[in-house]
Structure 1
Amino acid sequence: MLPTASGSFGDKPVITFPDTPAPADLGVEPLVLGEGDVVEAGDEIEVNYLGQVWGGRVFDNSYDRGAPVRFPIGVGAVIQGWDEALVGASVGSRVLISIPPDLGYGPAGMPRAGIGGTDTLVFVVDVLGTHRR
């Protein structure tokens, strides 16, 4: 069972977790279906996102910074869970993603962000744009 997220596209979400263990596999749930261009592997995408450890604290979010981020997708520039979950999404979509450790930061985790090697990561991502490279 995946968490739920409040808010509309463009609004900072709040994630609510179920009283169940984190799923072992990648979970992708479109919360809003966009009608824009489809994200393809190799594109540079622009997103707003909130990232939270399963059942724990928010470790990063672009909403509070007031600036979206851009990065290549589907080419190994970000964690594997993002590459797998966001290729195929449409611009204007809001996507909830649950990423198991092996598709996130792996056994080493990301200590400086407070992410352990066994942590499942949950993101809400608003896809703002895609640019062919």
Structure 2
Amino acid sequence: MKKIFLTIFVSGISITSFAQTKKPVAKKPAATAKTISAPVVLKSGLDSVSYAFGSSIGASLKTTGLSTMNYDVLLKGLKDAFTGGKVILNQQQAQQCINEALTNANKDKFTGNITEGKTFLEQNKKRAGVKTTASGLQYEVLTAGTGAKPTAATDSVLVNYKGTLLNGKQFDSSYDRGEPISFPLNRVIPGWTEGVQLMNTGSKYKLFVPYNLAYGERGYGPDIPPYSTLIFEIELLKVNGK
């Protein structure tokens, strides 16, 4: 069922160029009274399943954040794909179009997160003790250690940490679980890969991670929304080596 839906979904969205390449037609005189569409009557099993697929596709599209569609073109794309007709966009073009539309819709939906993060980082970098790297990562040394540093992103480290959103809501903590965590630095978000390599063993840093160095446009699970700037307190306990 999911595979069928995805095929229809790609075809339906991918033919947006049809609306741009149609030849102009003469406009009909404006109606003197508002036209009311006749209600759809489901007279057969085919009618029912056709409407069911349409409403299912519509409900799924609505969850993407898109605010409107060219419904005539949507139906044209659906029909072309379903009947084996010639589609206007190939699969690669269609997927690129869909990806761009969904990215833009998601970005518009979470503009507040982007603005909040940008404003916070602009103010935070002015605080004494906060340093900013070329990538935009900000960090503050809470405790300066004197032990070994990781020498490469392939090194594995043992750390304790706590992660919060800008509003102070905690989304993860090894302290609460009662045990540190070990991982290779190239298997975590870019802000950690860069930030932990700045630390000596025994250090405790606070990292202020822009969304593009964290979980980006997708976020992570129910606790980290898309485009979230994150704050981590990290204590480097040991460098395990490669």
Residue 35, structure 1, aligned to residue 146, structure 2: yes
Q: Could you give the per-residue CA deviations for residues 21-64 of structure 1, whole angstroms, max 9, x where no partner exists?
A: 32163111111110111122221100000000012300000001
CA RMSD of aligned residues (A): 1.5
Cα pair 1:79 1:103 within 8 Å, conserved: yes
Letter of the aligned partner of 1:115 in structure 2?
I
Letter of the aligned partner of 1:63 in structure 2?
Y
Instruction: Tell me the equivalent position of 1:121.
Output: 230
Distance 1:119 1:37 in 2: 31
Instruction: Tell me the equivalent position of 2:121.
Output: 23
Distance 1:44 1:111 in 2: 25
Residue 93, structure 1, aligned to residue 193, structure 2: no
Secondary structure (helix, strand or coil) at the match of 2:176 reads: coil
Among 87, 104, 111, the alignment partner of 2:221 is: 111
Residue 71, structure 1, aligned to residue 201, structure 2: no
Cα pair 2:162 2:173 within 8 Å, conserved: yes
Q: Could you give the per-residue CA deviations for residues 108-130 of structure 1, whole angstroms, max 9, x where no partner exists?
A: 00133x11112110000000000
Distance 1:51 1:64 in 2: 11
Bigger Rg, structure 1 or 2 = 2
Distance 1:49 1:59 in 2: 11
Letter of the aligned partner of 1:130 in structure 2?
V
Letter of the aligned partner of 1:62 in structure 2?
S
Cα pair 2:157 2:182 within 8 Å, conserved: yes
Higher relative contact order (CA 8 A, sep 6+): 1
Secondary structure (helix, strand or coil) at the match of 1:111 reads: coil
Letter of the aligned partner of 2:224 in structure 1?
I
Secondary structure (helix, strand or coil) at the match of 1:52 reads: strand
Instruction: Tell me the equivalent position of 1:58.
Output: 170
Letter of the aligned partner of 2:119 in structure 1?
P
Distance 2:188 2:170 in 1: 18
Distance 2:221 2:160 in 1: 23
Cα pair 1:40 1:88 within 8 Å, conserved: no
Which structure dedicates a bigger proportion of its chain to strand?
1
Structure 1 unaligned regions, length at least 5: 1-19
Secondary structure (helix, strand or coil) at the match of 1:108 reads: coil
Secondary structure (helix, strand or coil) at the match of 1:22 reads: helix
Which structure dedicates a bigger proportion of its chain to helix?
2
Distance 1:126 1:56 in 2: 19
TM-score w.r.t. the length of structure 1 is 0.78
Instruction: Tell me the equivalent position of 2:240.
Output: 131
